[in-house]
């Protein structure tokens, strides 16, 4: 890092040079933001891709950089009414702070049931905005800046530029795909970010009359490329079977600790990756109960030493069409836990040592963006746009083919797919009468973060 007065120039392996203004530097220097140095961007993916040790800190700086560039490109475009630029000065700092509320190991804990955690990472951002140092860092932006930035992060409010931080074209997606691919050593996320940035435009919704960030028609092919990049990254990295096994074990550890009273949901807000694992081990080691002993002597060491749950069987989502699955198959509900423990008993395993995994990301390929086609502004939404590849339908197909239903066991138990399906559909251990319903996964909607 090289300082220039109160601004800063940072060398970055993805974007080369990131120039930070004085307010951004002040934000970065707070303890709340420095905490992001110790939260891995991809959670437990480093157990599969050793290079994936980059952090939310790195990523946030990258999104800030892209926000500054995007605003410059939009300002150089066709003139728009002055009110459209109201609050524009907040966008780069909202981009910098968009992940301030993340839990340890990033998104994993947000998959748990709501009562197990205090809220998603966007909701938790509010707790960090209350810190005095961060409030002081934001003072130069105005007395209401913190509240306005929080609304931008949540995609709320009337800031016409909020779509750069939260929306179908948000800069977060462009940044994480490029950075994640670089550090995992895979080529799939190498999106043409420059083309997308140059294709941004401020457009007026023909229905509501509101202004928002949209895309010029000539850049739509790059949007298609973005969809395919996300699909490939989910299939090969984010939903890799060993990444999901590690994530499932980590969730089981935290959920069990909360159920046993070793941690409260609020205890999960604030610790970094290693701080949370250490505290889990300390509290479990100090407790004499059987649950705590299982955590301290079996599950936590297994996670740290990469002795991950094994794939007993797996079924691609497309092979589940026409099947009826329990409504809880994609969640972490008590009904699902009872079913898993029933299967564990059948397989001669201890409670908690069977994990059913069917990840959900309904917004993975979300499309809701204005497009300028030769001066005619239309919305690319669920209906698509005539004359173009059917992107909404394509998004659903990509989502459907990316998902896999997997059964993991702490000790190797190879099983046939039909064995699993019979137990999911036959009212086997833990399946309550009437619990079966069409799985939402077999009829995917929309499209991550």
pLDDT at 122 over 80: no
Between 347 and 220, the more confident residue is 347
User: Sign of torsion, CA 350 254 59 99?
Assistant: positive
End-to-end CA distance of the chain: 28
Task: List, in order of start, the domains of the chain with CATH numbers.
Answer: 2-239+363-399 (1.10.3210.10)
pLDDT at 20 over 60: yes
Average pLDDT of 30-57? 96
The per-residue pLDDT for range 194-235, each reduced to its tens digit, is 999 999 999 999 999 999 999 998 898 888 888 889 889 999
The 8-class DSSP code of residue 325 comes to E
Residue 432's pLDDT band (cuts 50, 70, 90): very low
pTM for the whole structure: 0.90
Q: What is the pLDDT of residue 126?
A: 80
Q: What is the pLDDT of residue 191?
A: 86
Q: How far apart are CA 409 and CA 60, in angstroms?
A: 36
* Residue whose entry in the numeric block shows the structure tokens 């030493």: 305
Q: How far apart are CA 19 and CA 61, in angstroms?
A: 10
pLDDT at 46 over 80: yes
Calculate the average pLDDT of the chain: 88
| DSSP SS3 for 354 | strand
pLDDT at 119 over 70: no
pLDDT at 160 over 80: yes
Between 399 and 153, the more confident residue is 153
Q: What is the pLDDT of residue 169?
A: 84
pLDDT at 429 over 50: no
Between 268 and 383, the more confident residue is 268
pLDDT at 417 over 60: yes
Residue 137's pLDDT band (cuts 50, 70, 90): very high
Q: How far apart are CA 35 and CA 97, in angstroms?
A: 12
């Amino acid at each position: 890092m090289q300082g220039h007065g109160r601004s800063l120039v940072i060398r970055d392996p993805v974007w080369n040079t990131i120039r930070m203004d004085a307010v951004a530097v002040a934000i970065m220097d707070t303890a709340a933001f420095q905490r992001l140095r110790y939260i891995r961007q991809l959670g437990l993916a480093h157990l599969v891709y050793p290079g994936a040790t980059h952090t939310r800190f790195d990523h946030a700086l990258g999104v800030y950089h892209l926000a500054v560039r995007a605003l410059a490109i939009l300002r150089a475009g066709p003139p728009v009414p002055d009110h459209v630029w109201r609050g524009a000065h907040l966008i780069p700092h909202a981009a910098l702070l968009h992940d301030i509320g993340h839990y340890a190991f990033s998104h994993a804990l947000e998959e748990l049931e709501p009562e197990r955690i205090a809220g998603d990472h966007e909701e938790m951002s509010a707790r960090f905005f209350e810190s005095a140092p961060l409030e002081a860092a934001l003072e130069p932006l105005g007395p209401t800046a913190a509240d306005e930035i929080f609304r931008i992060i949540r995609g709320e409010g009337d800031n016409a530029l909020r779509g750069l931080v939260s929306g179908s074209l948000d800069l977060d997606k462009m940044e994480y795909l490029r950075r994640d691919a670089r550090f995992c050593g895979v080529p799939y996320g190498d999106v043409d970010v420059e083309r997308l940035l140059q294709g941004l435009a401020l457009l007026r919704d023909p229905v509501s009359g509101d202004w928002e960030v949209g895309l010029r028609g000539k850049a739509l092919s790059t949007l298609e490329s973005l969809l395919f990049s996300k699909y490939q990254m989910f299939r090969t990295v984010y939903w890799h079977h060993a990444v999901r096994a590690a994530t499932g074990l980590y969730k089981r550890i935290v959920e069990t600790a909360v159920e046993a009273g070793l941690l409260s949901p609020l205890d999960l807000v604030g610790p970094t990756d290693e701080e949370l694992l250490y505290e889990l081990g300390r509290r479990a080691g100090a407790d004499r109960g059987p649950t705590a002993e299982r955590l301290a002597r079996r599950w936590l060491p297994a996670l740290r030493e990469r002795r991950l749950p094994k794939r007993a069987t797996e079924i691609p989502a497309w092979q589940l069409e026409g099947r009826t699955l329990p409504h809880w198959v994609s969640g972490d509900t008590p009904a699902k836990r009872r079913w898993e423990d029933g299967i564990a008993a059948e397989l001669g395993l201890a409670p908690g040592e069977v994990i059913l995994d069917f990840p959900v990301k309904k917004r993975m390929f979300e499309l809701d963006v204005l497009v300028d086609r030769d001066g005619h502004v239309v919305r690319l939404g669920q209906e698509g746009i005539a004359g173009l590849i059917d992107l909404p339908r394509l998004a659903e197909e990509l989502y459907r083919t990316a998902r896999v239903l997997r059964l993991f066991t702490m000790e190797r138990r190879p099983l046939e797919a039909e064995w699993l399906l019979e137990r999911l559909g036959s009212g086997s251990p833990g399946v309550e009468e009437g619990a079966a319903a069409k799985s939402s996964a077999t009829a995917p909607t929309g499209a991550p973060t």
